[in-house]
A and B are shown apart, each in its own frame.
Chain A
Amino acid sequence: MLEVVLRAAAVLAAFLVLPLLVGQTEHKVMAHMQGRLGPMYAGGFHGWAQLVADGVKFVQKEDVTPARADRWVFRLAPAVALLPYLVALAVIPLSPSVVGAQVDASVLLVLAVMGVGIVGTLMAGWASANKYSLLGGMRAAAQLVSYELPMVLAVASVALAAGTLSLTGIAAAWRPWWLLWQLPGALVFLVSALAELQRPPFDMPVADSEIVFGVFTEYTGLRFAFFLLAEYAGIVVLSLLFAVLFLGGWAGPLPDVLGWLWTLLKGFAVAVVVIWLRVSWPRLREDQLQRLAWVWLVPIALVQLAVTSVVVVATR
């Protein structure tokens, strides 16, 4: 019983710390890449206090619910968007022993609960009683529905290669030559993950020059901060998932006791790539976005699945 409580507390701590770490990294990486001076100023050395200042600002803001909004749905939406990532983080292993909860089919669990997050976005878009929010919600839903398919196919390919649905099992079965074998699947997964997170270049749902800020338009203060936290938690979850599925998780030259450190480092490197792509790519148009998913990603993922099956059948 004590162990369960300790593990839950550790998952919660990781859930609160890792997204902030990614947020801080994003501030700094973007500041360096784009020559931004603002994020380098607060607190003196390298602008370390910028994130703290942001947090204090969000807490101070008034919590406004629009008069014509659907009160309950509007208020619940940030929680529905945030909680799935907490559940997903609980089953992603950092090493065979460092994991929140051992689940048999953990890959399926992660994919299933991440789908729930879409509902939060859609709820927020509809309940705000604002046409920009509604447009953003529709765009988000259309985007997530199309990109879920290539993502699931890419994950299915790795699961097929490893012969198990457990994340721990997949990372244990991983061999360095999979980097080449599963490369198309890994690329498809990375692109779909970016789209799932609605990060640039897939940020049509929050395109500020077209629809203000999409579903977040009417949100203020802490509720808005929850949506932001959900975005960064999403980066953490998907980066760690990528590290475990495609980069071998805890496989590395250090002794096995430090395996969790390898997973974290690999996940962090993926998170930096996610930030890098945000800084360097322009936004896709809605039709380009759908085209990319259906004309490129789904076929590539299907071919990857076929290649994986052939190799698995031939070598077994």
Chain B
Amino acid sequence: MTTRDLVFAAVGLLTAAAGLLAVTTRHVVHAALWLLVSLGSLAGCYLVLGQELVGLVQLLVYVGAIVVLVLFALMLTRAPIGPEAQISTPGWQRVVGAVLGAATTALVATLVLPALGPGVVDLDRAPTSTPQVAAAIFGTWVWPFELLSVLLLVALVGAFAVSRLVVADGGRRR
């Protein structure tokens, strides 16, 4: 056990525990905040593994996403504090959430882990650095990357179109 193992185990446990709490907690805002802890400590996992760029991008992208998620959670639920019969998650739903989460974890693990193979990487000499990641994205993978950006753009335009169409329809927005 090196220090790196210990730190990785701690950060990984935190990630898993926060993820579990995110699906089993009673309150929607708490769930979002636990999700934030989970995604943030996942960035910590990347950092421990020497993937600085991936970890930082994870933090940059997902923290902003969670802020928007919390905003929508607050706007859709009228932001009550404490338990409220209409929106608090009943016990059976939390159990189902935990079971579904565990099932997804098992599914992804069985699919992805064998695909990665038994390769071993020396973490003390970081195998990839920022320039290499950049070269890979904008060299080898540039077409999939551009296609993804077009996909996101289409989704964005679609979202705008949908919201505008509803307004033009005589203000049927609730």
Contacts and interface: CB of A to CB of B under 8 A. Distances in A.
Contact of A112 (B60, B68, B82): B60
Given A116-B40, A119-B36, A127 B59 contact: no
Interface string A108-152: 110111011011001100110100001001100110110010000
Contacts of B130: 104-105, 165
Contact of A115 (B29, B53, B64, B70): B64
Nearest to A73: B33
Contacts of A122: 67, 70-71
What class of interface size applies to chain A in its complex with B? 20 to 34
Contacts of A49: none
A197 B70 CA distance: 20
Contact of B64 (A126, A138, A148): A148
Contacts, number: 74
Interface in A12-70: 68-70
A103 interface: yes
Looking at B29, B60, B81, the one whose CB has the most chain A CB atoms below 10 A away is B81
Interface string B77-94: 001011000000000000
Contact of B82 (A70, A123, A144, A165): A70
B74 interface: yes
A137 B81 CA distance: 15
B74 A112 contact: no
A145 B64 contact: yes
Contact of B71 (A70, A115, A123, A141): A141
Interface in B118-168: 129-130
Interface in A173-222: none
A142 B81 contact: no
A67 to B, nearest CB: 10
A69 to B, nearest CB: 7
A127 B75 CA distance: 14
Interface of B: 29-30, 33, 36, 40, 52-53, 56-57, 59-60, 63-64, 66-68, 70-71, 74-75, 79, 81-82, 129-130
Interface of A: 68-70, 73, 103-105, 108-109, 111-113, 115-116, 118-119, 122-123, 126-127, 129, 134, 137-138, 141-142, 144-145, 148, 165
